[in-house]
Amino acid sequence: MRIQGHSMFLFSIEGGDGSGKGLATKIVSEVLESEFCFTSVESTSEPRRNHPLGRLAIDSVREKSMSPEQEAGLFAADRLDHSHGWVLPRLEEGRAVVSERNIHSSLVYQGIVGGIGVEKTTQMNSAALIPDLCIWVDCDPDIALNRINTETLRGLSNKEEYFETSELQKRIREGYKIIFSGEEELPTPFDMGAIVGPILNESTQENFRKLLKDHIRSFMHRRPNPINVSMEKVDQLQLHSIVSKSEGQSTLSGIGVGPAKRRSDWLDQRPPWRVLKSAQELHNNALSSMKTSELKGFDQFPKNILNHSMSSVCGTLSLVDSADISELRSAMGPVRCVSLRHTQRIVRFLTNSGWISQRKTLMGREAPKSQLRDDVFPFGRLVLAIWPLRRAINRWQSENPKTHLRFCIGQIIKSGSHKSDLIDTIGRLSILGTGSKNSAPKNIQDLADWWVGE
């Protein structure tokens, strides 16, 4: 079973040469792909052997042609280019990136072992990305050297660029202990990420895999916010991608392919507050009319249409028109993600309550596809637009049960507590459209007017 989680994290694997970083990178990638939402996990490494900047850094170490400061500058240049040219775009698409070596390697190899100092190394790398989780893999230097000197490892990783002496490996190991044990405080901003270890890689591969898996699960279950990207920006990027794709598909209508149900007037000439109120009434009526036998097995059925799972399923179905469970979860992305089991429950509940219709494919062998009922479609689109404000709206309704829903956004604005959520909602409306003939809100007052239907 896959577990709900955000994928837009940068994981780094650190440790001395021959400690098992390559194996750890492979294991961590496999665990993320098999156990957590979204299989888009990409592996990389630093310095980049197949890039001119990375190659310069590697050659400078092998040839001993530069000062420690110059070497550190080359490693920093490669990291900066790698961070913003390759890693960041992938994080913004909601992917996970696992990097064999990252900033902490420079802090140890150039800062401590090379002698230029941790502070100076940090300054050189200050614009690089920060690993959300750094995994420190440790191994006795003698065992590590033996691995380095085996033909298999040498053939795989071209280790000849390193000074392979026991004395150096011990200094490197000591360097990692210094920066990871708290003996020397990690400098800002690289003190922001989580660090685990040392994870010993001196016994069986099965034991090593279990230790890594336990740490990854522990980190993901904490559901931390990613350091390098905004979750909202990631979701807006995905919304934009799906909307653009659907608009392209609608041009096929002239050759017998019907346009998807993604009209620009998705509010059906109603103000947003009324769409939300009607959906809430529809849901309450469905709950009260469903028999006890129909609710059996729904120990976690959604009582509130603005909760995460209900909003995600309805909102995502308004984007993809019709989808089986796998397609639905793929379109959710890392922000609207709902676990497989819970997605199945919500779809079954919404089918029973009449919000979703299901149809079998022509072949009959594929999984049935779910589609929002026409009168629920406006709510699906609306909940995507107001996604950043769902909790604030829900809280406002609880605190103001006798106040009309049309005043909700105006009073949230007056509270002054949700400015970024309001701005994010404006951004979403520029992607999804306003659901009417009106142009997208340009400011918070325009958003308030849109809400009441002016």
What are the tens digits of pLDDT across the range 124-179?
999 999 999 999 998 877 777 776 666 444 444 444 444 556 778 888 889 999 99
Nearest C-alpha neighbor of 190 from the set 138, 135, 126? 126
Lowest mean pLDDT among 155-159, 202-206, 302-306, 365-369: 155-159
| Most confident listed range (14-28, 191-205, 391-405) | 391-405
Nearest C-alpha neighbor of 421 from the set 381, 389, 385, 450? 389
% the chain with pLDDT above 70: 85
pLDDT score for 1: 43
Q: What is the pTM of this model?
A: 0.78
Are residues 420 and 379 in contact, defined by beta-carbon separation less than 8 angstroms? Answer: no
Residue with the bigger pLDDT between 99 and 341: it is 99
Summarised one tens digit per residue, pLDDT across range 336-395 is 888 888 888 899 889 888 898 887 655 556 678 889 988 899 999 999 999 999 999 999
The residue type at 417: S
pLDDT score for 155: 41
pLDDT score for 258: 40
Provide the pLDDT confidence category of residue 20 given band limits of 50, 70 and 90: confident
What does pLDDT average to over the chain? 85
Are residues 416 and 422 in contact, defined by beta-carbon separation less than 8 angstroms? Answer: no
Residue 2 has pLDDT above 80, yes or no: no
- For residue 269, is it left (φ>0), alpha (ψ between -120 and 50) or beta? left
Summarised one tens digit per residue, pLDDT across range 57-69 is 999 888 888 888 9
pLDDT score for 291: 58
pLDDT score for 262: 52
Domains of the chain (ranges, CATH numbers):
10-220 (3.40.50.300), 231-244+264-452 (no CATH)
pLDDT score for 380: 95
DSSP 162: S
Angle between helix 68-82 and helix 52-63 axes, rounded to 10 deg: 160
Give Cα separations from 289 to 251, 286, 292, 295, 377 (angstroms): 41, 5, 9, 10, 21
Pairing state between β 41-45 and 96-100: parallel
Mean pLDDT of 419-436: 94
pLDDT score for 193: 92
pLDDT score for 284: 87
Please state, in angstroms and rounded to a whole number, the distance separating the CA atoms of residues 347 and 363: 22
Summarised one tens digit per residue, pLDDT across range 279-299 is 999 888 888 876 555 555 545
Provide the pLDDT confidence category of residue 300 given band limits of 50, 70 and 90: low
Mean pLDDT of 182-200: 86
Lowest mean pLDDT among 159-168, 187-196, 269-278, 317-326: 159-168
